[in-house]
Amino acid sequence: MELVQNFPFLTIVFSLTCGVFCAVLKARTAKRLCLCWLTLTTVMSLAVLVYTMRTNGYYVYRMGKWNAPWGNEIRVGILEALMASVFSGVMLLSLLGGMHHIFADCEPEKANLYFTMCSLLMSSLFALIYTNDLFTAYVFVEINTIASCALVMLKSSARTLVATTRYLIMSLLGSGLFLLGIVTLYGITGELLMESIAEKVREIFASGAYSLPLTVIIGLFSVGLAVKSALFPFHSWLPDAHGNATASSSAILSGLVLKGYIIVLIKIFYRVFGLDVIVAKQVSQFLFLFGVCAMIFGSVGAIRERDLKRMLAYSSVAQVGYIYVGIGLHSRLGMVAACVQIIAHAITKPMLFIAAGGFIDVSGGHKSMSALTGAGRRDPLGGVAFTVGALSMIGIPFFAGFVTKLHLTQGALESGAATMTVALAAIAVSTLLNALYYVPVIFNIFSGRESGEYKGLRVRWRADYAFSLVCFIALNIGFGSFSRIVVGVIRRGLELFGM
């Protein structure tokens, strides 16, 4: 076995240890440790990606002396390595971009715990991406839940406390349903490893036994993870949590944490139940419908919002809807679109949140639209980044968001007439709505009618903030212009994923 193959396991385990060390270090040292480690994990994940691309396949890494059904194992393929690289890179950039906010918003002696939470979150995201075992997924889902709630409440204020409480209660409700699903599935199959369950499920499905339990289990998984990833009817906790947290937290939560749960759901759908069962149980139709509703109602919520960060949070609800519509098309093209959207949103929304953090800096700490008038002039780099992000969200060609819409449209065109009509209409309406709330913001931040109060204010030059935004802009335009390469990688990854 080559050394590269150990990297996924090393990234998971030593991210945990890095978090443990951050908890006892001074905040500045913890920051350095965490950033160094995140750089290293990004490089390691990229190395794994290159390795899997070169060997054109995936490999199974057993966690211990024993093979799969006895021990734990992780499965590393092209898609997983790609996601891990993107996630760890985005985590690094989000931390860098909001660094001064972290130190301003957290209590000084607790700032080191921010990096603890980030490391643990990263570890759990890696584990969720790579895991091949349902119970491992549950354990790391819990780490993910607690760490992400802690990221919200590290900015100590009444609102974040309330938002955290709502977030935590909803998340735990989701975990409860998810765990009940795992347990019931264990009851009828007797397995926890995804491949073994898939085998048993196929037998059970063919024999026609346990038809109702199977439906209910799929329902439990879907509802549990949909609550956690804020799919439309369960999104009420998201705007508060993402809108009130510190800039980096909002970026990480919107960009990565939601996607972690969706990746678990995709794994459960395609690697545990298989396409046949999912189609026969008609779960994807529900997800499709809720996804469409999320696209519309998320955007409507964003239009009504006068607070920039909450507006971005509502926009996340809409963007999560795109992913679910992609999954709900239950075709290969739909899945490609969903994966593209996971990546596109992961590199766009953090940029928007970090730019918004910059605007708030130059507007006396106010978040409302009226206070932000002209903020783009006071913080030009943030203004450019926000414009790029907004154009990407609307779906202008050569930006990341366009790639999603392109693939989603292709996926929709391939499906049945009714689905196609609904999906195309939803994409069109949602694009229009996105433009309706992003374009005024762009005009507003570049408007010359600044209120006198903040007029002379200029953003302080910060290397980390500038570096993060420049990287995000480059990533976004790069992904938008050379999407062919990434989409090719995703396609190959999905082939190995059993699609």
The interface with other proteins within residues 149-188 (CB under 8 A) comprises: 149-150, 153-154, 157-159, 161-162, 164-166, 168-169, 172-173, 176, 179-180, 183-184, 186-188
Q: Which of residues 80-139 bind other proteins (CB under 8 A)?
A: 109-110, 113, 116-117, 120, 123-124, 127, 133, 135-136, 139
Nearest-approach distance from CB 454 to other proteins, in angstroms: 18
Judged by beta carbon, residue 237 or residue 270, the one nearer other proteins is 237
Return the number of the residue (102 or 143) whose C-beta is nearest other proteins.
Answer: 143
Task: Kindly state the smallest distance separating residue 445's Cβ from other proteins, in Å.
Answer: 21
Residue 320, φ and ψ in degrees, nearest 5? -65, -35
Strand partners, 76: 59
Segment near other proteins (CB under 8 A); pick from 11-19, 78-86, 255-263, 433-441:
11-19
Q: Computed from CA positions of residues 493, 495, 496, 499, in that sequence, does the dihedral angle turn out positive or negative? A: positive
Is 47 near other proteins (CB under 8 A)? no
| Both tokens assigned to 41 | 């994990």
Q: Residue 294 CA to chain centroid, in angstroms?
A: 16
Choices 5-13, 49-57, 87-95, 287-295 (CB under 8 A): range interacting with other proteins = 5-13
CA atoms within a 13 Å half-sphere pointing along the CA-CB vector of 24: 4
> 120 vs 318, which CB is nearer to other proteins?
120
| Ranges within 17-46 binding other proteins (CB under 8 A) | 17, 19-21, 23-24
Residues 196-255 contacting other proteins, CB under 8 A: 200, 210, 212-213, 216, 244
Q: Which of residues 50-69 bind other proteins (CB under 8 A)?
A: 61-66, 69
Min. distance of Cβ 440 from other proteins in angstroms?
24
Smallest CA-to-CA distance from 374 within 453, 464, 435, 463 is with 453
Q: What would the two tokens of residue 417 be?
A: 């007439």
Closest distance to other proteins from the beta carbon of 341 (Å): 28
The Cα–Cα gap between 463 and 351 comes to 15
Interface with other proteins (CB under 8 A), residue total 76
DSSP secondary structure string for all residues of 2-50: -GGGGHHHHHHHHHHHHHHHHTTS-HHHHHHHHHHHHHHHHHHHHHHHH
Single out the residue of 48, 147, 337, 342 in contact with other proteins (rule: CB under 8 A): 147
Place of tokens 């800039």: 247
Q: What is the CA radius of gyration of the chain?
A: 22
Query: What minimum distance in Å lies between the beta carbon of 18 and other proteins?
Result: 10
Per-residue x/- marks for other proteins, 422-451, CB under 8 A? ------------------------------
We find the least distance from the C-beta atom of residue 378 to other proteins, in angstroms, to be 21
Q: Is the dihedral of CA 38, 44, 47, 53 positive or negative?
A: negative
Q: State in angstroms the smallest separation of the CB of 212 from other proteins.
A: 6
Nearer to other proteins, 173 or 499 (CB): 173
- CA 250-254-259 angle, to 5 degrees, is 150
131 forms beta bridges with: 74
| Token digits of residue 439 | 């374009």
Q: In which residue are the tokens 């390691």 written?
A: 44
Q: Residues 73, 130: contact at Cβ < 8 Å? A: no
- All residues at 6 or more sequence positions from 486 whose CB lies less than 8 Å from its CB, including other chains: 82, 340, 343, 403, 479
CB within 8 A of 341, min separation 6: which ones?
Answer: 319, 322, 323, 326, 404, 408
Q: Which is nearer to other proteins, 10 or 477 (CB)?
A: 10
Q: Which is nearer to other proteins, 167 or 399 (CB)?
A: 167
**Shortest Å distance, C-beta 333 to other proteins:** 34
Which one, 182 or 258, has the nearer CB to other proteins?
182
109 versus 456: smaller Cβ distance to other proteins: 109
> What sign does the dihedral 200-206-207-212 (CA atoms) show?
positive
Which of residues 110 and 458 has its CB atom nearest to other proteins in the complex? 110
Residue with smaller CB distance to other proteins, 163 or 388: 163
- C-beta of residue 355 within 8 angstroms of C-beta of residue 382: yes
Residue 404 C-beta: closest distance to other proteins, Å: 32
DSSP 328-351: HT-SHHHHHHHHHHHHHHHHHHHH
- Which one, 105 or 411, has the nearer CB to other proteins? 105
